[in-house]
Amino acid sequence: MNTSLYVLADEYLQAAEKMADLELDDKTISDTLEGLAGTLEVKATNVAMFIRNLEAGAGAIKEAESKMAARRKFIENRADRIRDYLKINMLRTGITKIECPYFKLSIRDNPPSVVIDAPELVPKDYLRQPEPPPPAPDKKLIAQAIKDGFDVPGAHLERGQRLEIK
């Protein structure tokens, strides 16, 4: 029978609660709870193995994404280099248009763009000032203040729990 971890935990708690009300000897209570705990531990171990498999799969996907992104970047850069190669050779030969059944190639002038030769010489009226980032709470500083006994309005320390699989 394939029972979920949640159901096994429920059965364990119910059995412990029922046995607390019964007048049973310590050995009987210990043996019963040990048997239930064994089943619970086996199921928990299987669930932990499943977690490890999921994490391994996610890691493999992350690695594949990284390799695919690097490959994509390589292909994009190669396409850019070959595009420049084609443009340079069309300009060298004076050919500005080529038509074929699949597409049309043409050399076009881009709109003028500003080139900054000496940024330090540009007048302040032509400089942009980036917006400063909005103030944000410094969690490390707040944590230390609370640990040192200070009251920090609007903040408190909270200890969570995690499952560690080693």
Per the domain annotation, does 23 fall within a domain?
Answer: yes
Residue 107 belongs to a domain: yes
Q: Within a domain: residue 151? A: no
Q: Is 137 helix (H, G, I), strand (E, B) or coil?
A: coil
Does residue 149 lie in a domain region?
Answer: no
pTM over 0.75: no
pLDDT at 1 over 60: no
**Residue at token pair 């019964």:** 22
pLDDT in tens, 124-157: 999 998 999 999 999 999 999 999 999 999 999 9
Percent of the chain predicted with pLDDT > 90: 64
Tokens describing residue 19: 């046995």
- Domain span holding position 81: 5-118
Residue 14 has pLDDT above 90, yes or no: no
User: Does residue 40 belong to any structural domain of this protein?
Assistant: yes
Residue 46 lies in a domain: yes
Total structural domains in the chain? 1
Is residue 160 included in any domain, yes or no?
no
The mean pLDDT value for 157-161 works out to: 93
The per-residue pLDDT for range 55-108, each reduced to its tens digit, is: 999 999 999 999 999 999 999 999 999 999 999 999 999 999 999 999 999 999
Which candidate, 128, 155, 127, places its Cα nearest to that of 141? 155
